[in-house]
Amino acid sequence: MIQCKSLTKKFGDFAAVDQVSFDVQDGEVFGLLGPNGAGKTTTMRLLSTVLRPSGGTASVAGYDLIQEPQAVRASIGVLPEETGLYDRLTPREHLLYYGQLHGIPGEVLRKRIDQLLEVMELADRANTKVGDFSKGMKQKVALLRAFVHDPPVFLLDEPTAGLDVMSARSIHAFVERFRKEGKAVMISTHNMTEAQKLCDRIAIIDHARIIATGTLGELEARTAQKDLESVFVQLVRD
Amino acid sequence: MRTRAIAAKELKDALRDRRTILAMIVIPILVLPVIMFLPAFLASPERNPVQVAVIQADNTSDDFVAKLTSNQIRVVRIRGEENITRLIQNGDYELGIVLPADFSRILEGPDQTATITVFVDQSSTRGSIALSLFQDATTQYADKIVLERLAKTGLPPEVLTPIETDVRSVTVTGIGSIFLALLLPLFLGIYAVTGAMYFIMDTTAGEKERKTLEALLTMPATRTEIVVGKFLIAVLIALLSSGLAILGMTGGTMLVFGAFGEASAPGLTISLPNLLLIGLATLVLAMTAASIEMVVAIFARSFKEAQNLLSPLTLIVVVPAIGMQYMSEQMLRSLAVAPIFNAMLMIRDALLDRASLGNVAPEFMSAFVYMLIALAVAIKIFNSEKAMVRY
């Protein structure tokens, strides 16, 4: 699970994330919704230990973000905003590399890679360099990279941005699978349909602060609106 | 384990990058021999004799013209002095000579001088070579005439040489080694510094730009493991590049000496301990350069920005290497612990077979300390959020 306590990140005098607090339970999909520049990606970067908090802290899978960053990294699967794949490596080589970084023993890793490539329907392209892949296929490889060590926590930043319907559906199917397997999943998005479809609870972030948290029903009741988009617009406007 | 995985991935990625291969293998092994050998090959009169246009006022200079002709000089008799300038400027001939009337009769006399007019374009390398060959041939011919004139007067030839010099070389190494000692520190230094530059830009600023670095930072590898993994491959590439530069350079030197018909071309003898010293100096230089370049490149936000930042770094090796050619031995010794100079002096000492413990110890120790400092700075910088993450 994830527990954020007054998490803050400042760049000089500018607060990109300001006193953000929320929990994500195991088996829960938690959506972080917000306009561009609201602080979604910075929050994700803080939780993945790429950035160090200026204030507050968080625990991820029971490990403290500041005290135990390496243990946190071993417990998370991250899908960044941009896939960040090496064009000259194949999907199999990517998974082998990241699996080795997670310390998975050779034979176990090879079997797991075969399974993952099969599940993501990438087995026939396993040895093709990803530079030749479509955005959707690259996103699938990036998701497998996040999943190769079977972590308890997932941080997915705009997981379906720019993808076609079929690719987006296969990503959604994986998120559903993670939930069923009891993983804590945090998704940053500004896609309302996706948030409505996937998320058990949603936090709305604007100008670096969380302005509302709850289930879709709770947010609708609070704003007297009937869909997430209207809820979002009203909260951000207020 | 993680450092090994990072290094293995970096090597695989680099070997699949055509630009890295070009910078690492093709340029050092091909460019140097071509740069060194091609001009010598093209200008060489053995392979392509110089063309000399000869205008004779009469046939009394036939003997001189016959002596002029050799495997390096092709003589073509032409008529009319008025076209000679144009013919040389057009490149039809490298040299034009005008022989005066009564040439042999002037030479037969006891105290007369025959004046030969020579037309040459001295801005052309082949023109200068032709002039030099012509002057050599003329001097030989003139010496023969002088001896004949002296014989007629009854004076011995020694009357012309009251003093002669007897030069005895104390150089222990072959001329090839001297040639290499001048150029090798320069090229080894350049390749140790620039050989991995492309790879370093790609693996730091390039990774940052393509967002692969951010994905890597979410892995359990520490930033020290990341920098060390990348550093090891950068050093390997720089060493490969330097090694290939030596091969290219040695090959080029032998070709150049061969092209001039020098028998001393095989004088490129380096003992095994000297070869190891050269390797050690190159290794330390490559490690220092890789650390400095990684520190500079990681601050760049893009590959292009890294290129702009790193390109001037070539000067840190070119300036000392060129400066060394003009410094006295005492001045060089006073720079034995100066960065870059130390490693280059090690290479030079080894090439000239002058390496002793007294020379090499301060050079190596100081180079090693500078390398450790540069690597420590690189590790510190890679642990800094500001350098690693593009906000």
Cα–Cα–Cα angle for B291, B296, B302, rounded to 5 degrees: 125
Instruction: Find the helix packing angle between B357-382 and B223-259, rounded to 10°.
Output: 140
Phi, psi for B112 (deg, rounded to 5): -100, 155
Closest CA to B286 of B382, B371, B198: B371
**B18 has a chain A CB within 8 A of its CB:** no
Instruction: Give CA–CA dist B193/B292, Å, rounded.
Output: 10
> Is the per-residue pLDDT at B137 higher than 90?
yes
Closest CA to A56 of A115, A4, A134: A4
* Contact (Cβ atoms closer than 8 angstroms) between residue A85 and residue B225: no
pLDDT tens per residue across span B39-63: 777 777 888 899 999 999 898 999 9
Task: Name the one residue in this structure whose structure tokens are 């990774």.
Answer: B207
Report chain A's C-alpha Rg in angstroms: 18
Q: List CB contacts of B235: < 8 A, sequence separation 6 or more.
A: B196, B283, B286, B287, B290
**B1 has a chain A CB within 8 A of its CB:** yes
Q: Answer yes or no: do B212 and A85 touch at CB < 8 A.
A: yes
- B13: nearest CB among A82, A84, A88: A88
In order along its 238 residues, chain A shows pLDDT tens digits of: 999 999 999 998 999 999 999 999 999 999 999 988 899 999 999 999 999 999 999 999 999 999 999 999 999 999 998 899 999 999 999 999 999 999 999 899 999 999 999 988 889 999 999 999 998 899 999 999 999 999 999 999 999 888 888 888 888 999 999 999 999 999 998 888 889 999 999 999 999 999 999 999 999 999 888 888 888 888 888 7
> ipTM strictly over 0.90?
yes
Q: In the structure encoding, which two tokens stand for residue A30, read together?
A: 């938690």
Dmax (CA) for chain A in angstroms is: 55
Q: What is the chain B residue with the closest CA to A103?
A: B2
**B217 has a chain A CB within 8 A of its CB:** yes
What's CA A197's distance to the chain center, in Å? Answer: 16
pTM as predicted? 0.80
Instruction: Give CA–CA dist A31/B220, Å, rounded.
Output: 25
CA distances, B119 to each of B93, B94, B99 (Å): 10, 9, 12
Q: List CB contacts of A36: < 8 A, sequence separation 6 or more.
A: A190
Chain B environment of A138 (Cβ under 8 Å): none
Q: Answer yes or no: do A84 and B5 touch at CB < 8 A.
A: no
- B211: nearest CB among A51, A74, A84: A84
Nearest-neighbour CA in chain B from A206: distance (Å): 18
Partner A, chain B 33-92, Cβ-Cβ below 8 Å: none
Q: In the structure encoding, which two tokens stand for residue B321, read together?
A: 């290497």
Up-side HSE of residue B29: CA atoms within 13 Å toward CB? 9
3-state secondary structure of A154: strand
Instruction: Give CA–CA dist B97/B89, Å, rounded.
Output: 14
Q: List CB contacts of A50: < 8 A, sequence separation 6 or more.
A: B214, B217, B218, B389
Q: What is the chain A residue with the closest CA to B229?
A: A101
Q: Taking the CA atoms of B159, B160, B163 and B164 in sequence, report the sign of the dihedral they define.
A: negative
Q: Answer yes or no: do A88 and B217 touch at CB < 8 A.
A: no
pLDDT tens per residue across span B98-121: 999 999 888 888 888 999 999 999
Q: What was the pLDDT predicted at A150?
A: 93
Tell me how crowded residue B274 is: count the other CB atoms within 10 A of its CB. 19
Q: In the structure encoding, which two tokens stand for residue B49, read together?
A: 């004799």
* Contact (Cβ atoms closer than 8 angstroms) between residue A101 and residue B217: no
CB neighbour burial string for B87-120, b if at least 16 within 10 angstroms, e if fewer: bbeeeebbbbbbbeeebeebbeeeeeebeeeebb
Single-letter amino acid, residue A102:
H
Instruction: Give CA–CA dist A72/A4, Å, rounded.
Output: 13
